[in-house]
Amino acid sequence: MNLVAVLKRVDFKNILKVIGIGLSRPHLVLPTVKATKDCIAVSTQNYGKLHHKNGPANAFRHAFWNYLIAKRCFNWHGNEETVLAWAKKVTDWHEDSFPNQPLPRAMDLHNNEVGRLIFTQHLLKSEQEIVALMKEMTSESIKIDSDTDLSEYKNRMVHILEQ
C-alpha cells in the first residue's frame, strides 16, 4: 500500500479530515496503518485479488480490517470503547473518501460493523483464531440485493457478487 498514491485519490477536504482524525489520537495512527497493511496481506494470501471485488472475500477484508484496527489499537490504548470508536471513525472516513454505489457502500459499512462486533465478542482470541473464524463466516456470507434488510444479518457477513 503506497500511502501517497492512495492520498492522491482523495479530495482536499477529506485529506484535512483524516489529518484531524490522526491528530485526535496520534498514538493510534501507526497501529492503524500497520493493521491496514497486514489486513491487505492476509486477505491477498487467503483470497488473492478476489477481495477487491464485492464478493465474500471483500466481506472478509472489511470485517477483518475493522477487527484488526480495534485489536492492534487496543494493545496501545487499552480502552475497548475508544478503539471501537476509532476503528469506526477511520473506516467511515475511508467509505466517505472513496465513494461507492449505495449497495456496495451499505455492504462495506455492514461488514465493517461485523468486524468490530467480532472484536468485542472475541477479545482474548489470537489473530490466527480470528482469521479462521472469519474464513468460516466468509464461507457462510449472505448474498444481498437492494431489497435486503441488513439489520436481519447483524452477526453475519454479507456480499453482492458470487465468487
pTM, full prediction: 0.92
User: Where do the structural domains in the chain lie, given as residue ranges?
Assistant: 45-159
pLDDT value at residue 1: 52
Give the residue ranges of DSSP H helices in 29-157: 29-47, 56-77, 80-97, 102-121, 127-139
Q: For the chain of 163 residues, list the mean pLDDT of each consecutive stretch of 10.
A: 70 89 94 97 95 95 98 91 98 92 96 98 96 98 96 96 71
What is the per-residue pLDDT for 36? 96
Strand, helix or coil at 34? Answer: helix
- The H or E element that residue 159 is part of is strand 158-159
| Residue indicated by cell numbers 492503524 | 32
- pLDDT reported for residue 5: 72
Helix (H) / strand (E) containing 19: helix 12-24
**CA-based R_g, the chain, Å:** 15
Phi, psi dihedrals of residue 66, rounded to the nearest 5°: -65, -45
pLDDT (0 to 100) of residue 157: 98
Beta bridge partners of residue 63, listed in sequence order: none
